[in-house]
Amino acid sequence: MQIAFYAPLKPIDHPIPSGDRLMARLLCDALSQAGFDIDIAARLRSRVGDGNILRQAQIAELASKLAARLLRQYQNGMRKRPDIWFTYHLYYKAPDWIGPIIADALDIPYVLAEASFAPKRATGPWAQSHAAVEHALHRADAVFSLNRADMECLRPLCGQDRLHYLAPFTHTEKWHVADRGGVNPDTSVQLVTTAMMRPGDKLQSYELLAAALGKLNARNITNWHLTVIGDGPARNDVTAAFTRNAISHDQLDFAGLCDADHTRILLARSDLFVWPAINEAYGMALLEAQAAALPVLAGDCGGVSGIVAHDQTGWLVPVGDVDAFADRLARCLGDDRQKLRDTGRTAAQKAEHSHTLAAAADLLGVSLRSIVAAHKNRGQG
């Protein structure tokens, strides 16, 4: 069975890493494991971050031309005709201008994963793109949500029967840590975080983390060391935030951008993953940390609570509250080190039980085959 896959926010082969690109790749892996053949149908990036109305219209026009070309390729055999069109991640800044055209023309199911809908965008500069998202949601045969927080606004458009929760997932076996060694209470608690250094929400999270650590130093709580994994255009702003909060060089290491193997090694050397998660959808880095048997301290935002179970696999605090983050971190640093280790083991068990690629493949495989069968039956009726 053939799937035409499209990620309008960022194609899976984009050179800049991100959680969005990672999940697009993981979805393709899961769909392949479920027995589908995947074709990357389009690479057009539809995102217009500043609300430029002319730019949105230009992208919509280009998308219609790309859709027409795709249809010609499907019809003349240059491209294998898909059984399903599958779009990953659309919202008012990055709608899908292509998928509904193809699905209607070929009379095939149209499926979405990680869609969000913001009714307040019905007016204003993104109104055109918002309307495209609304049309896509009405047209969709199924919508898989990786973030329960998005589902409330999606339900009126999709109905309960077309809206499904798909737990965030990863190759948990790639993050497994065989042995963390013994607990040494005389050494500093090894904190770790991993995130791209970008302006906006990521930078705000780094700034809150630096401020929280600065508050710990002011309270003479210094039994910690932080390793930061990540890089990006806001690196100077990130380093400045730690300097501004009087975080000394011996308390902090910048590891830079690391591949998965190096990241796993650094996670294996750590005791606690920390991330404020400001405006985080769910946080793939949090899931990878838990798969590596690390407890997580994070801001309770979006779908983060779908990954981090408070007081079981880590701790959640009100997002954006630097005092709450600092206080909870101080408690973690004051706890018996073995408690962190035990919480991390529970985190790994949860990842292995609920967040595997195999589980996602099973859910997608059963659901999509059922959707195709139902679509064919409607056509025959």
CA angle 336, 340, 343 (to 5 degrees): 130
Tally of CB atoms within 10 A around 353? 10
Q: What is the pLDDT of residue 186?
A: 67
Q: What is the pLDDT of residue 160?
A: 86
Q: What is the pLDDT of residues 96-149, one digit of tens each?
A: 999 999 999 999 999 999 999 999 999 999 999 999 999 999 999 999 999 998
Are 179 and 60 found together in one domain?
Answer: no
Are 341 and 368 found together in one domain?
Answer: no
Residue range(s) defining the domain that contains residue 56: 2-169+356-380
CA–CA dist 104, 70 (Å, integer): 13
Are 331 and 363 found together in one domain?
Answer: no
Q: What is the pLDDT of residue 333?
A: 96
The CATH code of the domain that includes 366 is 3.40.50.2000
Among 52-56, 106-110, 183-187, 313-317, which stretch is predicted with the lowest mean pLDDT?
183-187
Are 126 and 266 found together in one domain?
Answer: no
Amino acid at 134: E
Are 262 and 186 found together in one domain?
Answer: yes
Q: How many domains does the chain have?
A: 2
Band of residue 248 on the pLDDT scale cut at 50, 70, 90: very high
**Whether the Cβ atoms of residue 195 and residue 51 lie closer than 8 Å to each other:** no
> What average pLDDT score do residues 303-324 get?
97
DSSP secondary structure code for residue 188 in this structure: P
**Whether the Cβ atoms of residue 56 and residue 48 lie closer than 8 Å to each other:** yes
Q: What is the pLDDT of residue 378?
A: 83
Are 238 and 287 found together in one domain?
Answer: yes
Are 138 and 246 found together in one domain?
Answer: no
Report the mean per-residue pLDDT for the chain: 95
Half-sphere exposure of 376 (CA within 13 A, CB side): 8
Are 206 and 144 found together in one domain?
Answer: no
Are 155 and 14 found together in one domain?
Answer: yes
Q: What is the pLDDT of residue 125?
A: 97
Distance of CA 108 to the CA centre of its chain: 27
Are 221 and 328 found together in one domain?
Answer: yes
CA–CA dist 285, 277 (Å, integer): 10
CA–CA dist 112, 376 (Å, integer): 19
E strands within the chain?
A: 2-6, 37-42, 84-90, 110-115, 142-145, 163-165, 189-194, 224-229, 252-256, 272-275, 296-300, 314-318
Q: What is the pLDDT of residues 48-99, one digit of tens each?
A: 999 999 999 999 999 999 999 999 999 999 999 999 999 999 999 999 999 9
Q: Is the pLDDT of residue 185 over 70?
A: no
Q: What is the pLDDT of residue 336?
A: 81
Are 156 and 181 found together in one domain?
Answer: no
Are 109 and 71 found together in one domain?
Answer: yes
